[in-house]
Amino acid sequence: MLEEEEVIQEKRNAVSLPRVQGQISFQDVTFVYQDGAPVLERLNLTIDPGKTVALVGTTGGGKTTLASLVNRFYDPQAGSIRVDGIDIRDVTLSSLRDNISMVLQDTFLFDGSVYDNIAYGWADATEEDVIAAAKASKAHDFIAQMEQGYDTVIGERGVRLSGGQKQRLSIARAILRNAPILILDEATSALDTKTEQEIQQALDEISKDRTTLVIAYRLSTVRHADQIVVLEGTEIAEMGTHEELLRSGGIYARLYATQVS
């Protein structure tokens, strides 16, 4: 993670990143965790604005690391990551992250109301905005059935909610932020099939017209991605659409066959 002292120093020279179109470019990116072997080596990848790119591969192949670099949770040891052609190390962290929404497998919720959890981090949100986001994420119906509706306190980490309900609130939060870049990190992998299908519909809806980076274990959830990138052993092993990768009979085809058999 970036050290606090480094972040403070960075802010003295960094500029504010305006709202972006959403092109993301990894240029000769190498990343090594402390005292470890390289996770990524001289990786090159460009994601065009508004496109959905899925990152797949075996555990430890660098999928989450690649997404974490976009948010600057870490910086690469070599190479650069650019958004709309701007090196993200040259802009403030706050302005970079204002352009990014994330939905994670491990949902962050706090001991407050449903309303506050959805509106978290977006001070200008109105009640109408929050309700609209909840409807778009398929959360409004179960919220309305709660005794206190949007004022219901959900407990630490959303202990009073099911896994599917937690994810719906997380998606509602992402919708409310309306950021041009969306990162989905195995957002449905811990859910049952029925709940996954319902939430996948909400995720597909909010991905429209956004640059979306999807990290997926269940390959059935990324069949319709504009591009699927297979990471293997620090580099991109394959890249193409679902149909192209199945026809090639490589790593993706074998992984997919294993999951559907």
CATH code of the domain in which 72 resides: 3.40.50.300
Question: Rounded to whole angstroms, how far apart are CA atoms 115 and 119?
Answer: 6
User: Same domain, yes or no, for 136 and 234?
Assistant: no
- Among 145, 178, 211, the domain-final residue is 178
Residue 120 token pair: 């978290």
Q: Given CA atoms 4, 6, 9, 12 in this order, what sign does their dihedral have?
A: negative
Q: Are 85 and 112 members of one domain?
A: no
Number of structural domains in the chain? 2
Global confidence as pTM: 0.87
Question: Do residue 93 and residue 210 come from a single domain?
Answer: yes
Taking the C-alpha atoms of residue 163 and residue 160, their distance in angstroms, rounded to an integer, is 10
Question: Is the same domain home to 40 and 131?
Answer: no
Same domain, 68 and 190: yes
Q: Are residues 18 and 83 in the same domain?
A: yes
Q: 225 and 137, same structural domain?
A: no
Residues 224, 201 within the same domain:
yes
Residue range(s) defining the domain that contains residue 235: 1-99+184-261
- Give the residue among 213, 256, 251 at the shortest CA–CA distance from 231: 251
Domain final residue pick, 156, 178, 200: 178
Predicted confidence at residue 190, as pLDDT, reads 62
- Looking at the DSSP bridge assignments, the partners of residue 80 are 27
Beta-carbon contacts of 197 under 8 Å, excluding residues fewer than 6 positions away, are none
- Between CA 78 and CA 67 the distance in angstroms is 16
How distant is the alpha carbon of residue 43 from its chain centre?
Answer: 19
pLDDT of residue 213: 95
260, 212: one domain = yes
Domain boundary among 178, 198, 230: 178
Q: Say if residue 228 is in the same domain as residue 246.
A: yes
Q: Which residues of the chain are modeled with pLDDT < 70?
A: 1-12, 189-191, 261
